[in-house]
Structure formats: structure tokens, C-alpha cells
């Protein structure tokens, strides 16, 4: 994070033209507002936060305190305006706002209007299966009945039954979420099944009562989670056809319930992301084109949604160029589209941001532009979180060894080889093909000694073939192809 980062500055910079116009108008409507509007306009113009410029609006010894109060007032004003401006952005927001308004009306004894608002909220909550909100609506409806003595309209048995069903369905959602979190915790370490024990764990999850049959899922959110878990488990166990079937069923389910996509577009983006992953593994270009075009057909309004779409499209378009060995197009796409869209790039999930840099490094590597490959890879290695999946980091470390060899960084190589092998061992990723390949850089002859160099590589190629390189960690690299390229030279 930049040293001159400021939350309010970041908030102002994120505002759309329409949001800014609304805030400016509301600021002007208050007689004492001039100073806050000045600060707002100043922050709007600042590309980098500059506190000294803001302090110039104040006088006296306590400038900092005055600025602090002014910024706090402005922040609250912006949030208040955003709350009004986006009051109907999502069904969940609309429903909550109606409940809040009904509660205010209850305390003002405006029971008839409160009832009307609660009925509107109830319709939204029932359509979108907001079970907790349905419980809150029922609570305020009961209080209004008690306050107005309309006990003849009160059916406690029906209310109790509805409440029981809402809670039961909500608890079912929580059970699926808990199961999903357990599996996600395992996957967050590595998406590779690293040993028989891990394989057994995933196999056992498939036998979980909640995953036996879709009828166990009692709501749309539970059904969504059911499909996600099943597709992920089958992918981890390399049962790709079963995984594909569940992924396609999930997208079909979402498209049959478009209000789910409208409420949470990330459900759809993630689902398409997963089917695109399968298309890469299966090398199914028709499937890839079908779903990449499907995703492009959607338009999303909010930055979070746009950032998710941007990262998915960028990752797979970049990956597709690399897959088809269009390295010039891959580099051009990275330099002239991905890197230039600074606004969305900074909003992308950190793992996807690092994967973009890693894939760019691969493109430069295959173009033999090793300096740029190292620069892109360092954006990944130097900044990547320790919580990033270990299989991704391991692949980056192996690529790092090769790039440093190509750049003739002989002083650095021994340390990189040692640390890479140590990382593989520590994280249960140490496999014979990877160890053979990485270790060979310790003893590889100088390329000027042509015969010794050729003989060495021929021997290592035989060892790698015998070690079955299809099981390597760095699946984006072909050790055999790299050796063949050196032998041709």
C-alpha cells in the first residue's frame, strides 16, 4: 500500500460521475457546506493524496484537527448519499431498506404504512429466499398486530410454521457453506492432490450426506453450493467428465434463475471461470469459445463485478494465447490491455492479479525475452502472499530457476535451486521429475562445451521420460521441450 494512501481519497476516486454530481448537489444544499465541497473537489482532482493541499483550506494551529473533522463529515456525507443513490441496487439492499423504514414508522405509530412496506419487503424476500430477512419481517408484523390489537388477524400457528421453515432452510444453507469452507481450506493450500491421504479425504467428502443427492439442498443458495462442491471435488480427483457435467448444470441453473445473477453476478462469473478451466484441461476449444463469448455478452455495473469479469477474461484470453503459442499476441494483450487498465487491475483479487503476472512471464519466457520474463515473474514472487496456493508458488519458483539460468545468473542459481527444492519438500510437492529437472542446473555443463552439454541433456531427457513428466508440478512448462530446444541449438 502506498505511503500516501488515504481512505477518503480512495473513496472519492472510486465515485462515478453520477455519484459525484449527487454528492455535490447535496453538499451545496447545506448552508455550511462550502468547506466540505472544496475538500471534495480537491480530492477529486488529486491523482495522489496530498494532505498539504487540503490543509491550505484551514488556518490556525489546529489545522490537522480541523481537517480531520472536515474529512469525517465529508466521508459520512458521501456514505449517506451512496446509500440513497444505490437504495435499489440489489434486492437485498431494497429489502433491508424497507424493513428499516418500517421500523422507523413503527416507532412513529404509523402502523398502516409500516404494514405496507413490510408486505413489499416480504414479496422481495420470498422471491430471493432471504430467510433471515423473512424472520425479521415476521417479527415486525407481529409487533404491529400487538400494537394495533388486531389479534383476530393473528395466526400464531401459521407464523410459527413459516418461521420454522425459514430457519430450517437457512440452517441448511449454513451446513452447505460450512462444508464448502472446509474443502476450500484444503484447496487454498494446493489444488493438486499431493498424496493418497489427500485423495482419500476428497473421496470421503463425496460421500457426505449433503452431497448424496441434490434434494438435500432446500434453497437456491444451497443448490448453487451443492453444484460448486461436486464439480470441485470431481476436478481434484481428475474425474473431469463428472466435473464438467456439474459445472454445466450449475450455469444452466443460474440462467434459469436470472434474479440470482442480477443479485450476485459473481456467482455466474465464477461458474463460467470454472468451465473455462475445464476447457483448458480437456483442450476443448469449442467449449472455451462458447463460454468466453457467453461471459462477454454480460454487462455489469459495479466495480466489484467488473473487476471479477476483467480478471476472468484477462486470465483466459492470455492463457489461450499461450496455449496456442501466440506469444506475440499474449505479450501485446498483457502490455496494451491488462497493464493499461490500472483501475480494474488494482481491484482484481490478489491471487488473480499474481496469476496474470505469472502468465505474462510465461509468454515472455517462450518469446525468449528473459529480462521481461523475470520482471513479470518478480511481480509475482516478490509480492505474492504466503497464503497463495503452494502449487502456484512452486511453479513460479521452477520457472524462476530456468529464467536465471537463461540469463546466466550463475551466482544466484545455487541458492534458487536449493530454496526451490526445499519449498517442494516442505509443501509435499517433491516429485521425481521436478527434482531431476531442477537439480540438473547444479551440474549442467557450460554450453560452450558442446559435446558434454549435449550428452548431459540427452541423459537428463532419458531420466525425465522414465520419470513420467506428465505428473510435474509446473504444468505450464515442458521440461522435455526445453531440453529439445537446447539440443537443437
| Cell output for 283 | 483442450
Q: Which residues of 64-80 are buried (b: 16+ CB within 10 A; e: fewer)?
A: eebbeebbeebeebbee
- Rounded Cα distance between 76 and 67, Å, is 14
pLDDT, one tens digit per residue, over 109-148 is 999 999 999 999 999 999 999 999 999 999 999 899 888 8
- Asked if 126 and 151 count as a contact pair (C-beta separation under 8 A), the reply is no
Q: 438: part of which helix (H) or strand (E)?
A: helix 432-443
**Three-class DSSP labels, 143-202:** HHHHHHCCHHHCCHHHHHHHHHHHHHHHHHHHHHHHHHHHHHHHHCCCCCCCCHHHHHHH
Whole-number Å distance between alpha carbons of 200 and 178: 20
Burial status of residue 404 (CB atoms within 10 A of its CB: 0-12, 13-18, 19 or more)? buried
Per-residue pLDDT, 4:
67
What is the DSSP code (8-state) at residue 251? Answer: H
59: left (phi over 0), alpha (psi -120 to 50) or beta: beta
Nearest one of 94, 111, 79 to 11, comparing CA atoms = 79
Identify the band that residue 32 occupies on the pLDDT scale cut at 50, 70 and 90: low
Cell numbers given for 381: 514472487
**Residue, of 101 and 31, whose pLDDT is higher:** 101
Q: Which of 43-47, 94-98, 425-429, 459-463 has the highest mean pLDDT?
A: 94-98
- Residue with the bigger pLDDT between 60 and 47: it is 47
Angle at 167 between CA 256 and CA 94, to 5 degrees: 55
DSSP class of residue 478 equals: -
Residue 351: its pLDDT value, please? 82
Q: Name the band, by pLDDT with cuts 50, 70 and 90, for residue 297.
A: very high
Region 43-54: mean pLDDT is: 92
Work out the pLDDT band at 181, boundaries 50, 70, 90.
very high
pLDDT beyond 60 at 152? no
The percentage of the chain sitting over the pLDDT mark of 90, rounded to a whole number, equals 66
Cβ-contact 327, 369 below 8 angstroms: no
Question: Band of the pLDDT at 301, cuts 50, 70, 90?
Answer: confident
Decide if 427 contacts 394 (C-beta within 8 A).
yes
- The predicted pLDDT at position 443 comes to 93
SS3 category, 281: helix
Report the largest interatomic distance among the alpha carbons of the chain, rounded to a whole angstrom: 100
pLDDT per residue over 55-96, tens digit each? 988 888 888 899 999 999 999 999 999 999 999 999 999 999
pLDDT band at 387 (very low <50, low <70, confident <90, very high): low
226 against 37, higher pLDDT = 226
Whole-angstrom Cα distance, residue 251 to residue 254? 5
- Determine contact, residues 483/464, Cβ cutoff 8 Å: yes
Confidence of residue 1 (pLDDT cuts 50, 70, 90): very low
Q: Are 156 and 246 in contact (CB under 8 A)?
A: no
Q: What percent of the chain has pLDDT over 70?
A: 94
CA distance 38 to 54: 9
Q: What is the overall mean pLDDT for the chain?
A: 89
**Which residues touch 447 (CB under 8 Å, ≥6 apart)?**
453, 486, 489
pLDDT tens-digit readout, 303-350: 999 999 999 999 999 999 998 999 999 999 999 888 777 778 888 888
How many other CB atoms are found less than 10 A from the CB of residue 456?
Answer: 17
Q: What is the pLDDT of residues 193-218, one digit of tens each?
A: 777 888 899 999 999 999 999 999 99
DSSP assignment letter at 153: G
Quick one: cell of 22? 449527487
3-state helix, strand, coil in the chain (%, to 5): 75, 0, 25
Amino acid at each position: 500500500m502506498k505511503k500516501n494512501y488515504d481512505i477518503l481519497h480512495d473513496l472519492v476516486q472510486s465515485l462515478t460521475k453520477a455519484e459525484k454530481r449527487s454528492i455535490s448537489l447535496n453538499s451545496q444544499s447545506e448552508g455550511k457546506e462550502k468547506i466540505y465541497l472544496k475538500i471534495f473537489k480537491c480530492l477529486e482532482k488529486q491523482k495522489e493524496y496530498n494532505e498539504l493541499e487540503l490543509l491550505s483550506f484551514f488556518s490556525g494551529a489546529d489545522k490537522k484537527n480541523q481537517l480531520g473533522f472536515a474529512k469525517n463529515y465529508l466521508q459520512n456525507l458521501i456514505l449517506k448519499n451512496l446509500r440513497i443513490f444505490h437504495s435499489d441496487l440489489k434486492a437485498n439492499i431494497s429489502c433491508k431498506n424497507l424493513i428499516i423504514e418500517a421500523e422507523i414508522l413503527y416507532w412513529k405509530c404509523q402502523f398502516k404504512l409500516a404494514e405496507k412496506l413490510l408486505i413489499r419487503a416480504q414479496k422481495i424476500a420470498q422471491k430471493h429466499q432471504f430467510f433471515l430477512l423473512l424472520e425479521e419481517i415476521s417479527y415486525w408484523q407481529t409487533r404491529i398486530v400487538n400494537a394495533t390489537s388486531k389479534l383476530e388477524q393473528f395466526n400464531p400457528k401459521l407464523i410459527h410454521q413459516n418461521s420454522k421453515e425459514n430457519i430450517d432452510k437457512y440452517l441448511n444453507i449454513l451446513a452447505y457453506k460450512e462444508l464448502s469452507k472446509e474443502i476450500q481450506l484444503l484447496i487454498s493450500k494446493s489444488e493438486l492432490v499431493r498424496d493418497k491421504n489427500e485423495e482419500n479425504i476428497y473421496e470421503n467428502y463425496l460421500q457426505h450426506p449433503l452431497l448424496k443427492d441434490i434434494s438435500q439442498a432446500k434453497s437456491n443458495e444451497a443448490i448453487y453450493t451443492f453444484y460448486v462442491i461436486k464439480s470441485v471435488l470431481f476436478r481434484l480427483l481428475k474425474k473431469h467428465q463428472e466435473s464438467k457435467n456439474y459445472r454445466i448444470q450449475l450455469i444452466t441453473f443460474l440462467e434459469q434463475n436470472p434474479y440470482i445473477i442480477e443479485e450476485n453476478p459473481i456467482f455466474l462469473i465464477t461458474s463460467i471461470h470454472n468451465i473455462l478451466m475445464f476447457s483448458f484441461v480437456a483442450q476443448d476449444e469449442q467449449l472455451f469459445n462458447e463460454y468466453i463469448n457467453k461471459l462477454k455478452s454480460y454487462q455489469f455495473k459495479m466495480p466489484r463485478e467488473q473487476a471479477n469479469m476483467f480478471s476472468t477474461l484477462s486470465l483466459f484470453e492470455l492463457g489461450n494465447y499461450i496455449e496456442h503459442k501466440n506469444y506475440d499476441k499474449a505479450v501485446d494483450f498483457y502490455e496494451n490491455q491488462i497493464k493499461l487498465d490500472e483501475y480494474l487491475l488494482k481491484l482484481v483479487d490478489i491471487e488473480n492479479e499474481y496469476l496474470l503476472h505469472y502468465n505474462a512471464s510465461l509468454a515472455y519466457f517462450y518469446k525468449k525475452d528473459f529480462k521481461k520474463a523475470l520482471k513479470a515473474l518478480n511481480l509475482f514472487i516478490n509480492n505474492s502472499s504466503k497464503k497463495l496456493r503452494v502449487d502456484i508458488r512452486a511453479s513460479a519458483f521452477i520457472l524462476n530457476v530456468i529464467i536465471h539460468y537463461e540469463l546466466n545468473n550463475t551466482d544466484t542459481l545455487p541458492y534458487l535451486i536449493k530454496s526451490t527444492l526445499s519449498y517442494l519438500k516442505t509443501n509435499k510437492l517433491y516429485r521425481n521429475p521436478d527434482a531431476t529437472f531442477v537439480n540438473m542446473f547444479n551440474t549442467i555443463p557450460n554450453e560452450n562445451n558442446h559435446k558434454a552439454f549435449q550428452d548431459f541433456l540427452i541423459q537428463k531427457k532419458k531420466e525425465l521420460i522414465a520419470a513420467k513428466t506428465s505428473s510435474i508440478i509446473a504444468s505450464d512448462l515442458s521440461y522435455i521441450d526445453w531440453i529439445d530446444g537446447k539440443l537443437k541449438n
